[in-house]
Amino acid sequence: QVQLVQSGAEVKKPGASVKVSCKVSGYTLTELSMHWVRQAPGKGLEWMGGFDPEDGETIYAQKFQGRVTMTEDTSTDTAYMELSSLRSEDTAVYYCAPFDSSGYYFDYWGQGTLVTVSS
């Protein structure tokens, strides 16, 4: 059973950066392909990117290219998502979710981290 615990809510000013963490337990991070999905208030789910085990690289949605960086610290089994040049439209709940590479689905999710961008 995978457990994912994310960092707490953040309030940032436009132009700043935010780094959200996702601590894994029950598995090691190297056994998972961690992805990130966000959800703006009252809106749907939006995939941001994640680790592709087929080529060993992190892939990002084109919308976030150049602004997002997803990293992992395997010594602490913690994944990170950093989003820069924040704007009000980035106000959302950010979820980490391992992508099951055999079934091609997200069967575990973090509890979500609310990032509010406001001046």
Q: How would you write 23-35 as a 3-class SS string?
A: EEECCCHHHCCEE
Structure token digits, residue 1: 């059973």
Q: In whole angstroms, what is the distance from residue 48 CA to residue 28 CA?
A: 22
Q: Which is nearer to other proteins, 4 or 86 (CB)?
A: 4
Length of the chain equals 119
Nearest approach, Cβ of residue 13 and other proteins (Å)? 25
Read off φ and ψ for residue 31, nearest 5 degrees. -85, -5
- Taking the mean position of all CA atoms in its chain, how far away is CA 38? 8
Residue with smaller CB distance to other proteins, 73 or 100: 100
The least CB distance from residue 93 to other proteins, in Å, is 9
Residue closer to other proteins by CB (options 56, 119) is 56
**Least Å distance between CB 15 and other proteins?**
26
* Sites of contact with other proteins (CB under 8 A): 35, 44-47, 52, 59, 61-62, 95, 97, 99, 103-107, 109-112
